[in-house]
Amino acid sequence: AATGDIYAASALGESRLERALCLQGLGRTAEARAGLEAAEAPLTRAAAAGLLALLGVEAATAYRTYLVKDWHHYRPDAAFTALMGTIRATPGEAVLDWPFCVAGGNGVATNQLCRYYGQQSGIAWLQAHHGKKVVGKYFGRLHPDQVRPYLDAGWPRMFVPDDPNAFKARRQQRDLTPDEWAFLERFVALGDFAGVLLYPDLLPPETVAGFRARLGPPAAAAASPYGRLEFIPKPDAWRSRVDVSAARALAFPPPAR
C-alpha cells in the first residue's frame, strides 16, 4: 500500500511542490513538510539573492558621494587641547560663547538666537571638551516656550548679522553700543562664568578689542572647525558679584518703569 501511495503521488505531478501537496493530501504530513521545504529552498535563496542585490544598488546610490568624497576631519591640536584645558580649569560653572547659538532642528529660535548658524551650528560639541555649562545648544526639536526666556531677555537684539539669513551670515556688522556693552558686562559679572569664549572671526575687530579692554587678555587661543577661538577669563574683581538669579532676570533693553 505504501508503494502504491508513492507511485500515486508521483503520477499526480513530477514537481517537488506538487508531490509535497499530494503527499499532504494522502496524510503523509512529515514527508509533505520535507517536500515543501525542499521546494521552497530555491525560492528562498533566489529571494535572498535579489534582496542583497537591491541593497547593494541602494547602498551604492545613497553613499556614492559620501564614499568618494575626500573628507578632512578635524583633529584637535595641542593649542586646542590647551584651550579646552584652560577653560576646564578656570573657576566658574559655565562659559559664555560669544556669539552664542541656540537652534532647533524644527526651525524654532534659529533665526533669532543662532544668527550665524552656518558658522556655529555645531559649537555645542566644544562642551564635551571643556565640561562647562553653556548658554546655547542645538536641539532636534524646540517648543517656542522653551526659548521664551531668551526672547524676553532681549538677546535677539544683541545680534546684528551682515545677512538676515542665518545660513549666509558671516559676522556682526558693527560693534556693540554702550548700552549693549553694559548689558553684556553685567550678565557676565552676575553669572557664574569662567569667562567668555570669543569667536573673533564673527566679530568686528573693535568688539574683540572691547572684550580684551573690559575683561583682560586671552588666556588661551586656538583654531577650530568654527574659526579662531579666544578664551578670556572673568576678572577676579567680578567674581564677588555673582548672582545667578539676578543674571537670569536681566533684560535688554531694561523694562520701562
pLDDT attached to residue 73: 75
Helices (H), 114-239: 117-120, 127-130, 144-152, 178-190, 205-215
pLDDT attached to residue 71: 61
pLDDT attached to residue 100: 96
Q: What is the dihedral of CA 55, 73, 229, 193, to 10 degrees?
A: 50
Taking the whole predicted model, whether its pTM rises above 0.85 is answered as no
pLDDT attached to residue 43: 58
CA distance 20 to 4: 16
pLDDT attached to residue 1: 45
Q: What is the mean pLDDT of each run of 10 residues along the chain (257 residues)?
A: 45 50 57 56 72 79 65 84 98 98 90 94 92 90 92 95 95 96 98 98 98 98 96 97 96 71
pLDDT attached to residue 219: 98
pLDDT attached to residue 54: 84
Contact indicator for 155, 115 with CB cutoff of 8 Å: no
The torsion angles phi and psi of 191, rounded to 5 degrees, stand at -75, 155
CA atoms 237, 238, 242, 246: torsion sign: positive
pLDDT attached to residue 55: 81
